[in-house]
Amino acid sequence: MNRGPAKHSRPAGPTFVEKVNATFGTPQDWLVELATFADREGLAGAERRVGYSRSAVSSILAGKYRGDLGRVEQMVRGALMAETVGCPVLGEIGRNRCLEWQKKPFAATSSHRMTMYRACRSGCEHARRNAGDDHE
């Protein structure tokens, strides 16, 4: 009985790295890193590591993503390329973790969460949003 493709298998055809090279010519280093990771771990692995859905990762690699590529680049650099930033509260953290903290809405669930919320919105040099801006 055939139950479909094996788990985590990709159909035969070009790899993600080959697709990125064909689409972008000379792609940026972070795109190559994301494509290499997707080839190795699959779209599900990339989804878990980078924090974007499988369809978003696929769209990014195909050059059809309509979202904020700057944020995607920073998430990839932090999650896959070990880029770090100096957080005023936590010290040295991955760039992706920094962006995840910035995206969290205000919640008075703990003093640490409130401290991080304020730090991300009060002039942190790594903030991607303006103080008081709660939409993204």
Return d(Cα 68, Cα 6) in angstroms, integer: 33
- Which residues lie across from 86 on neighbouring strands? 92
Is-above-0.75 flag for pTM? yes
Return d(Cα 82, Cα 85) in angstroms, integer: 10
Tell me the per-residue pLDDT of 55-112, one tens digit each, with 9 for 90 and over. 999 999 999 999 999 999 999 999 999 999 999 999 999 999 999 999 999 988 889 9
Domain count, the chain: 2
- With left for phi above 0 and alpha for psi between -120 and 50, is residue 16 left, alpha or beta? alpha
Residues 67 and 109 in one domain: no
- CATH at residue 69: 1.10.260
Q: Which domain holds residue 25?
A: 16-79
Show the CA angle centred on residue 86, arms to residues 116 and 113, nearest 5°: 10
